[in-house]
Amino acid sequence: MSRKESFISEVQSGYQTKGAALVLGKAMLEGEVLKEAQVSIPLKTINRHGLIAGATGTGKTKTVQVFAEQLSHHGVPSLVLDIKGDFSGIAKEGERNEIISERYAKTALEWNPTAFPVELLTISQEPGVRLRATVTEFGPLLLSKILLLNDTQASIMSIVFKYSDDYGLPLVDLEDLKKLLQYLTQDPEGKAQMQQSYGAISSASLGAILRSIVALEQQGAALLFGEPSFQVEDLVQQRGGKGVVNILRVSDIQSRPQLFSTFMLSLFAEIYMNFPEEGDTGKPRLVLFIDEAHLIFKEASRTLLDQIETMVKLIRSKGVGIYFITQIPGDVPQAVLSQLGLKIQHALRGFTAKDKKEIAKAVENYPETEYYEASTLIQNLGIGEAFVTALSEKGIPTPLVHTYLISPESRMNVLTQEEVLELTRSSELAARYGKEVNKESAYEILVERMEKATAQAPEQQKRSTRKEKPTPGMLESVLSTRAGRTFTSTLAREGAKFVLGMLGLGPRRR
């Protein structure tokens, strides 16, 4: 048997599937595309997560587009975090050109222009389905991470959430949280209740928390909080037998990596809490594609990294696959990288000594092969080519294959602004979540309570209260020993609502 025949046999054996599979392309050897050696990924292994890596301009986005299209054909919905804003064209049919014709002639596969069902999601003012959660649903721990609070301030935040529950003060948006902090520092009744039940807290720490909230609002984060809360079950839709591709456009998030990483962790947690255990169903329930994944891990604390690793391990039991898209595998922590079953590696460029070290580390993540000099070939992969290794239906790593990838069937360009508006106008979800609800919550309750107390006070006391009223910047907070002991029970209250008691997300208010 010749070397070529041996290679074809190995690929056919390693990538042969009995059940449904996603077709990525055809194997290459010594620059030749081998039509007999198809690279297919078993649909049942997609919830084992994956990595799509490569230098800028090597075709990562088009690979994600092909992946999402293949999933949609099989009725599997996906959620794509579109950092660069260049993915929306999947909603429209592609147009054949010379490059596509040449590529499909080499692979002996059929190319059919296809439009896929799409929902545009947003956490900003852009058109689309608004994603919101209440402050209570976010929980004190994740909110503390967004606000970059220290341990003492985070402990106080947990006590404030406990107080809101004990005294029936729903925290829906950031205005509710700010008003509650003001009530606990400025109102005699609120200060007395806090000190009696949870211990004294100083104005310095509460003032720092309030300033952090104001800074967060200036970044536009207030749009994340409110009602109606987005129900993650709405990510799992089909239309005409195809899985819906949900596109979350977050092009301005790169300047706010902490907000981005915490938002994603919150989304993971909501999915884990609300999705049922799937078992071995033969195909995933939902697949998440996280572009520019290094933003999740950038400046993340050890605790946050541990939580992400835990979620990656546990969420697959819910039938959910997570795919990280980044430039180099080293952007993903080793503990997370070891959990990823599928790896699609586009070209890396070795211009500097650091680049060459990253290439060497990347090659170490792939199975050894006698057919390629991986460390050299990885620098010379063409656009639309990649190293691929996955898991077989039996969970065995497949051979490393230089793969000639297929092209997207949808438009390889963005939607126009008018097309975006048309897509949003026709979306039932956009209409449902576009109507903001402002029901009675902590802000309204406390304003009424404080006004009533002021009206009942003697006129002299009212003048004194107005004169001595502290400014919003002078707020209380410093954790007493008694409050410190309360922290454990507060975490239990939040943690029991979430896996392993780590993330502090409460159940949704209906």
Domain that holds residue 55: 19-131+231-421
For residues 46 and 353, the model is more confident at 46
Residue written as token pair 């107080």: 163
Looking at 392, 421, 450, which one is the last position of a domain? Answer: 421
With a cut of 70, say whether residue 510 has pLDDT above it. no
pLDDT at 459: 55
Q: Are 37 and 11 in contact (CB under 8 A)?
A: yes
The answer to the question of residue 277 being in a domain is yes
| pTM beyond 0.75 | yes
With a cut of 70, say whether residue 494 has pLDDT above it. no
Do 349 and 463 belong to one domain? no
Number of domains within the chain: 2
* Highest mean predicted confidence (pLDDT) among 146-150, 199-203, 423-427, 456-460: 423-427
* Highest mean predicted confidence (pLDDT) among 111-120, 312-321, 472-481: 111-120
Do 480 and 346 belong to one domain? no
Looking at 353, 386, 421, which one is the last position of a domain? Answer: 421
> DSSP string covering 255-320, please?
G-HHHHHHHHHHHHHHHHHHSPP--S-SS-SEEEEESSTHHHHTT--HHHHHHHHHHHHHHGGGTE
Do 159 and 214 belong to one domain? yes
Q: Are 225 and 171 in contact (CB under 8 A)?
A: no
User: Which CATH number does the domain housing residue 95 bear?
Assistant: 3.40.50.300
> What are the pLDDT digits (tens) for 91-147?
999 999 999 999 999 999 999 999 999 999 988 778 899 988 899 988 898 888 878
Q: Are 50 and 323 in contact (CB under 8 A)?
A: yes
Do 250 and 202 belong to one domain? no
Q: Show the tokens assigned to 214.
A: 């104001």
> DSSP string covering 72-88, please?
HHTT--EEEEESSS--G
Do 284 and 416 belong to one domain? yes
For residue 495, which of 131, 147, 158, 10 has the smallest C-alpha distance? 158
- Percent with pLDDT over 90 in the chain: 48
Mean of per-residue pLDDT scores for the chain? 84
